[in-house]
Structure formats: structure tokens, C-alpha cells
Amino acid sequence: MKISDFTTLTFDCYGTLIDWESGIYKALAPLIERSGESIEKDSGLLEFSRTESGIQDANPDLSYTKLLTKTHEAMAQNLGVHMTVDDHMAFATSIRHWPAFPDSVQSLQYLKKHFKLVILSNVDNVGFSQSNRHLKVEFDAIYTAEDIGSYKPSPRNFDYMLEKLQDLGVSKSDILHTAQSLFHDIVPATRISLATCWIDRRAGESGIGATPVVENPPTPDMRFVSLADMVDAHRLELH
């Protein structure tokens, strides 16, 4: 299997193209400071992951802005810290400041010359539009949790994407699903026989980051530690 076997790259955004872990931890700084505890990045992200995924499961139709608000509220309550409504909202709207990975813009601009680029993301439309300003590329299609009414890893999100792409003349065999999260993306994509490319952004790091752990994860069809490495591999295929 080669990258050039495909016509369409479907991307997760947060954790793959946008460095949400750095963005989340920075946005948690006021809460951590007020708690008086020394909460390192891995611990803070683990608590975020546990809290966010629980709220997602219970509220699949909640907008991502409200989801982040409720996550921050719950984390504050768990730490016994009083935070204001404005504090919770500041965390929820911090998504606009979450940075792109250093290789995202240049890599996407290269890939745009060779593939259709599609987003399948667990955010709302406003949140993604803010992040897309950092990515500086025009995607051929964008499908968000707000559009779909559920969050990955629900199979509904992938079914929705495949149906919409079919209308655009893109079949399942044309698609390479490219993502960092095993839990949200690689596992559900594998279950429906989508080809997968794991961008292992956390290679060599401790902890599990901001996504839930996966027991007995599937083997992705391809693995790269960065989007730049994926681009390099594609260049080699063409020569």
C-alpha cells in the first residue's frame, strides 16, 4: 500500500494538524494555578481526557464550545476550585489560540497539490473555522460533530463522511484516513475497513496525552511520526 494509491486524504484536525495538547494545557493554567497544586502536563491532559470523554458520551449532541465549558466546570469541581462563568467560557473559546503543528501548513500545501483534503473533526463549525486560519489551506470538504450530531469514535461520523464523499464521486477505496488519535479515529476507521495512516505525534513521549487509552489497538496501514514525514514518503513514491 502506498500513499499515492489514494485520491483523498481525510483528516482529523485536533492532535493531527492542530497542537491541541499544548493549547489545552496552556488554557488550563489559570485553573491549575488557582488549585495550588503542581499538575504537570501529562496529568492535566489525562484529567481533561477522562472528563471530556465522559461528557461526550453523555451528551453526543452538545456543541463543542459547550462541551469544553462543561469539561472545565467539572475539572474545577473535581479540584475543589471556584471558577467564574467567564473563566469557563475563556477555556472553551481558547480553541482559537491552539496552534498548528510546525509542519502542518507546509505539509498541507504540498498535499493539496496531489489529493483532495477533507476534515472530519470533533468540534463545532465556529471552532474549526478559527483553527483553519492557522492551517492556511482550503479543504475540499469539512464535516464537524455539529454537522453530524455525534462525536467520534461513533460510527455515525464516518458513515456521514462516506455518504457525503460518495456524492462528490469519492469512494471508500479512494480514501486514506489520516489521524493521531487511535481512540477517536484509527479504531473506528479500521472497523469499517477504511485505510488508515497514523500520525504518531506523541512518539517518544510519556503518558497518553489528551485522548483515552486504547487496549489492543489495531495496526494502522501506515505510520509516521509527523505530517512532514508523510510528505517525504509521498515524494519518494513519485521518484
What is the domain class of 21-97 according to CATH? Answer: mainly alpha
Arithmetic mean of pLDDT, 187-212: 93
Q: Count Cα atoms within 13 angstroms, Cβ side, for 53.
A: 16
Structure letter (DSSP) for residue 152: T
User: CA-to-CA distance for 149 and 147, rounded, in angstroms?
Assistant: 6
Of 12, 87, 174, 221, the catalytic one is 12
pLDDT of residue 183 exceeding 90, the answer is: yes
- Reported pTM: 0.94
Assess whether pLDDT exceeds 90 at residue 213.
no
CA distance 51 to 72: 9
The residues near 78 (Cβ < 8 Å, ≥ 6 apart) are 47, 51
| Residue-averaged pLDDT of the chain | 95
pLDDT the model gives residue 139: 98
pLDDT band at 132 (very low <50, low <70, confident <90, very high): very high
Instruction: List every span in the chain annotated with CATH 3.40.50.1000.
Output: 3-19+100-237
Residues of the chain with CATH 1.10.150.750: 21-97
Name the helix (H) or strand (E) containing 116. Answer: strand 116-121
200 as an active site residue: the answer is: no
The pLDDT value recorded for residue 27 is 97
Q: Name the CATH architecture for the domain at 3-19+100-237.
A: 3-Layer(aba) Sandwich (3.40)
Percent of the chain residues topping a pLDDT of 70: 100
